[in-house]
Amino acid sequence: MPQTHVPLWLLVALQAAVSGVSLIVEIVAGRMLAPYVGMSLYTWTSIIAVVLAGFSAGHWWGGHIAGRQARQALARTGWILLAAAFSTAAALLLLRLIGGPVLGSVDHPLWSIVILTTCVFFLPSLFAGVPAPVLAQIAVMQQGAQSGRSLGAMFAAGAVGAIAGTLLAGFVFIPWLGTALTLAIVTAIYLFAAALMLWLVRPVSHPVVALVVAVLIMALGTFSVSRVSSCTTESQYFCIRVLDVSADPGAPVRRLVLDHLSHGTSARDLPRTMFSQFTAMLDAIARGRLEPGPFSAFFIGGGTYSVPRAWADRNTGPITVAEIDPQVTATAVRDFWLEPDGMSILDEDARVALQRRPDARYDVIVGDAFGDIAVPPHLITQEFFRLVRSRLSEDGVFLMNVIDFPERLQALSAIAATLQSVFASVEIWTEESLPVPGEQRVFVLVAADRPTAFPAITAAAPDPTRFAAMAQSFTDRLVARSSPARLTDDYAPIDRLLGGHF
């Protein structure tokens, strides 16, 4: 019989608490990495793999500790939970310290994601994995004939704690408290659990050391929370940053960054000026096809609302924008001079918004689904394009931007082929210049029932830039050469098609 008796309810509570906060760290990891490497399939794959690897190694380590006498096992686990508290408190500062150097020294983005995730989140997961087998072994040894019931209670506690931690992280902690404060709360729970375990086996060996370590961890957590966040706003979806890129303080120009990617630039005094090639093409091609107007427009995504703002200034007609993140819209109003009066702004996913309005018809639907390797697959499939076509007016047009590498063009060709299966005319527009090897090339796909009447157009981006449609023979050869699969809701491997290059 162990010298230290611990009530089963306390063992269950400890197991649930540790499991819960370890899952909170896993969810927070995605938000922490997003400003550095974006949020994609690759990011979550790396996070889940690294965290599970840490848990597995921690369980193995904890199994060895569980073979010791209960008092000694609890004491060792208490010290390990202090290490969990320290590694969690240091995670945000460590990421800020190594994020830039890793991204600067590792060329391939997939390896940079894996390396960053491992460096920052393996140790917290390793230490968090140790208590489970220790607590389960003590519960089984203390209950004797009721050992099976006790073991079931411990497993259930771990599962319930993990579920609660996941829900709290996604619905409460991150959207309401932010990343740093969430990690500080996790650190405090680890410290409390460690103190409780060491108290159960009192007298504690080296109590002064334990106290000093706890104070240092609390100081580290406080310092991490007090650091100025890199986010202007931290929403349920993004780390939102607003950067001042003005050349003249009297004529402000600002850039919006969502996670690690620029999503547009706007000038207060130049509402009709576009600051990127794809917005310039979306604006100029659509107006060239539809003016003198008026025409109705539906935008997939808002960002800085650059094109909607320009069209509102031109009074082109009714404008509807589906922006899933209300904080992005609020940021556009506060920092990018958006005047939403007269616009219909929907705080929902664009596909859902179109599905919920079967009677709506638009002269132009504008899609901005591309940015980096985090491309929403459900917005580039055959089923979605059919939905878009059903919401267009008789002579309506759909435009969407695509970013790809000229030496690959697998993503571009797959999307073009998918559009060709829905629309009679599909054009590929880009800057009228020779591509530079290794560059990211911006394209705009124009899909409709008839081709565009003009083959080229000059637009400010912000300097005057000439854009042209690829010859139809090039588009046909591109699609035929790549032999792309049509993208569907069941199969849309856009991450693989992009090749992890972004």
Q: What is the CATH number of the domain that holds 121?
A: 1.20.1250
How does DSSP assign 161-175, residue by residue? Answer: HHHHHHHHIIIIIII
- Asked if residue 160 is part of any domain, the answer here is yes
Q: How far is CA 17 from the centre of its chain?
A: 26
- Cis before 203 (ω within 30): yes
Residues 188 and 287 in one domain: no
**Residue 408 pLDDT:** 80
Same domain, 205 and 327: no
Q: Give pLDDT, residue 159.
A: 95
Residue 245 counted as domain residue: no
pLDDT by residue, tens only, the chain of 502 residues: 345 688 889 999 999 999 999 999 999 998 888 888 877 778 889 999 999 999 999 999 999 999 999 889 999 999 999 999 999 999 988 998 998 899 888 877 788 899 999 999 999 999 999 999 999 999 988 866 577 888 899 999 999 999 999 999 988 998 888 888 899 999 999 999 998 998 888 876 777 677 777 777 777 677 666 665 678 788 888 889 999 999 898 999 999 998 878 888 999 999 999 999 999 999 999 999 998 879 999 999 998 999 999 999 999 999 999 999 999 999 999 999 999 998 999 999 999 999 999 999 999 999 986 655 567 889 999 999 999 999 999 999 999 999 888 888 888 999 999 999 999 999 999 999 888 877 788 999 999 999 999 999 999 999 999 999 999 888 888 888 666 668 999 988 887 787 654 4
Both 136 and 210 in a single domain?
yes
pLDDT (0 to 100) of residue 1: 35
Do residues 221 and 324 both lie within one domain?
no
Nearest Cα to Cα of residue 141 among 2, 339, 299, 44 = 2
Q: Is 397 inside a domain boundary?
A: yes
Looking at the domain assignment, is residue 421 inside a domain? yes
- pLDDT the model gives residue 227: 62
**Domain of 455, in residue numbers:** 271-498
**Strand 319-322 relative to strand 362-367, pairing:** unpaired
Q: 210 and 292 in one domain?
A: no
CATH number where 368 lies: 3.40.50.150
Q: Residue 237: inside a domain, yes or no?
A: no
Whole-number pLDDT of residue 42: 83
| Structure-block tokens of residue 112 | 């940079």
Residue that finishes a domain, picked among 210, 230, 250:
230
- Which pLDDT belongs to residue 373? 54
Say if residue 320 is in the same domain as residue 208. no
Tell whether 224 and 122 lie within a shared domain.
yes
With respect to residue 257, please indicate whether it lies within any of the assigned structural domains. Answer: no
Examine residue 236 and state whether it is found in any structural domain, yes or no. no
Structural domain count, the chain = 2
Note whether 280 and 353 are same-domain residues: yes
User: How many of the other CB atoms lie within 10 Å of CB of 450?
Assistant: 11
> 220 and 282: one domain?
no
Q: Which among 204, 230, 256 is the end of a domain?
A: 230
Indicate the SS3 state at residue 205: coil
Domain boundary among 208, 230, 252: 230
285 and 182 fall within a common domain = no
Helix (H, G, I), strand (E, B) or coil at 185: helix
Whether 3 maps to a domain, the answer reads: no
Q: Are residues 211 and 347 in the same domain?
A: no
Backbone angles phi, psi at 103, to 5 degrees: -65, -30
Show Cβ contacts of residue 285 under 8 Å, excluding neighbours closer than 6 positions. 399, 429, 444, 446, 452, 457, 467
Same domain, 78 and 214: yes
